[in-house]
Amino acid sequence: MKRLTIRARLTLVYGGLFLLAGIVLLAVTYVLVEQRMPGTFGVQVNGVNPPPGSPGTPRLITPDNAEQLRIFARQIQDEARERALQTLLTQGGVALAIVSATAFAFGWLIAGRALQPLHQITGTARRIAGADTAGRGLHERIALDGPRDEVKELADTFDLMLERLDQSFDGQRRFVANASHELRTPLALNRSLLELAITRPDAPAELKQLGDTLLAVNERHERLIDGLLTLADSEQQVVDRTPIDLAEVVGHVAEQLRTELPVHRHLASARTAGDPVLLERLTQNLLENALRHNVPAGGQVWVSTGTVDGWATLVVANTGPVVPGYEVETMFQPFRRLRQERVGGGRGFGLGLSIVRAVAGAHGGSVRAEPRQGGGLVVTVLLPAEASIRTVPDNLPSTSAPAAAISTATSTVPALPHNGLPISNGGGTPQPARRR
């Protein structure tokens, strides 16, 4: 019973009660009819003269003939009684079966009609939760019409909750906008004053050294604020989408990197649609993390793009310290880093992968990371391909990327032999990023 839907359970309850009532009614009718039917005729036939003119009959019925007549009459009465009761049961049972089947059918229709307001509430909740890309948000309301019953009270309570959530998120957005201005302005002013102070011709060496240190601290604070604002903006569903190729984004970001580590690129067309600024930030965070968290010497980074099963894929792998499997998921949480990196202050703020997951989720995609054999990390990003964006189901959650697509995408990451050189897997000749 627990596996049945509410509509099926209501139909069974309605039809079952109707069937039970019909069985009880048929049983009561059977008992009443049986009691009302006479048991014997009770006619005195001894000494009765037959009607005149009956040829071949004696003038008087003997006692033996009378007894035989009583037995014959009782047999006829019993057979008629049994036939009547059997007909009552048979015809009543057939009628009950037909009416019960009709009752079950009407019960299914009535249950669907009664649950229609719940479907409306569910559809509104799905749209608000971002299951589709129609651009609806917390401003939408159920506004259920009808009598003041339990379902109407539920819909009104849900609308009240949505109104409060809408006000809360509006306040959060206003706070982010105000914080963006109020926090960036004094930091920009501090940077200008420090640059002006250390560039004076008569500035002593101690002042220039102190200014350089304060500029580094100021730049760190600016990057922290920029990361927090990007994380807050990327947690909202992307409505205005622009066709974009992840291969072009990766190529552009890789050209801007300033690193001595080789970045091997295996770039195939991976067309999707989304916000170009957020997707560029996603790619930049992945590559910067792969370069920052790497081995001191001989480290390498691999990045590949492609399309697998209707998903645009971006895979970034690197050499580096061994990452425990139980700590991979915590790395996607804000301000969380590996245990051996928490004591260092120059390795970022722990927002890189959080921003990556938020941006991917805002585009209807997903992110998965797994430790790389021999050390390092393999991060796989899956976004809906441009041709399949319009065919993605409305109830597809952001973490439901097919496991086969993820497995195929990560299979493009080469392994490292003992000599430290990458093994190409047929994805093209590795192209190191331009060093600057």
| 285: CATH | 3.30.565.10
More confident residue, 189 or 431: 189
pLDDT tens per residue across span 262-281:
889 999 999 999 888 888 88
What digits encode the pLDDT tens for the residues 25-58? 989 988 888 887 765 544 444 444 555 555 555 5
Q: Which of 114, 148, 170 is the last residue of a domain?
A: 114
Segment among 155-159, 330-334, 404-408 with least mean pLDDT: 404-408
Domain assignment of residue 385, yes or no: yes
Low-confidence winner among 108-117, 182-191, 346-355 (lowest mean pLDDT): 346-355
- Residue 330: exposed, middle, or buried by beta-carbon count in 10 A (0-12, 13-18, 19+)? middle
Residue at 419 is within a domain = no
Question: 344-389, pLDDT tens digit by residue?
Answer: 444 555 677 888 888 888 888 899 999 988 888 999 999 998 765 5
* Residue 246 falls inside a structural domain: yes
- For residue 232, tell me if it sits in a domain: no
**Is 402 a member of any domain?**
yes
| Nearest in space to 260 (alpha carbons), one of 76, 432, 131, 406 | 432
Q: Report the predicted TM-score, pTM, of the whole model to 2 decimal places.
A: 0.52
Closest listed residue to residue 374, CA positions, set 341, 409, 415: 415
Same domain, 379 and 247: yes
Domain presence at residue 304: yes
Say whether pLDDT at 431 is over 60.
no
Residue 134 pLDDT more than 50?
no
What tokens were used for 64? Answer: 């033996």
| Average pLDDT of the residues of the chain | 76
Is 311 domain-assigned? yes
Instruction: State residue 393's pLDDT score.
Output: 39
- Give 302-332 pLDDT, tens digit per residue: 999 999 988 999 999 999 888 888 888 888 8
Task: Tell whether 247 and 391 lie within a shared domain.
Answer: yes
Within 10 A of 46 (CB to CB), how many other CB atoms are there? 13
Q: Which is it for the CA torsion 277, 256, 358, 308, positive or negative? A: positive
90 vs 110: CA distance, rounded Å: 30
In a domain, 225, yes or no: no
Range in 68-77, 229-238, 291-300, 356-365 with the lowest mean pLDDT: 229-238
d(CA 284, CA 291): 11
Check whether residue 399 and residue 257 sit in a common domain: yes
Q: Reply yes or no on whether the pLDDT at 399 is more than 60.
A: no
d(CA 26, CA 93) in angstroms, rounded, equals 8
Same domain, 109 and 245: no
Residue ending a domain, choose from 63, 93, 114: 114
The yes-or-no verdict on residue 403 having pLDDT over 60 is no
pLDDT at 313: 94
pLDDT at 244: 92
Q: What is the pLDDT of residue 418?
A: 33
Domain count, the chain: 2
Average confidence (pLDDT) over 135-155? 77
* Confidence at 130, pLDDT banded by 50, 70, 90: low
Which residues span the domain enclosing 298? 238-410
Residue in this structure with the two tokens 């809360």, named with its chain if needed? 168
Of the candidates 299, 301, 279, 277, the residue with the CA atom closest to the CA atom of residue 288: 301
Q: Assign 3-state DSSP to the chain and report helix, strand, coil percentages, each to 5.
A: 55, 10, 35
How would residue 144 be classed by pLDDT, with cut points 50, 70 and 90?
confident
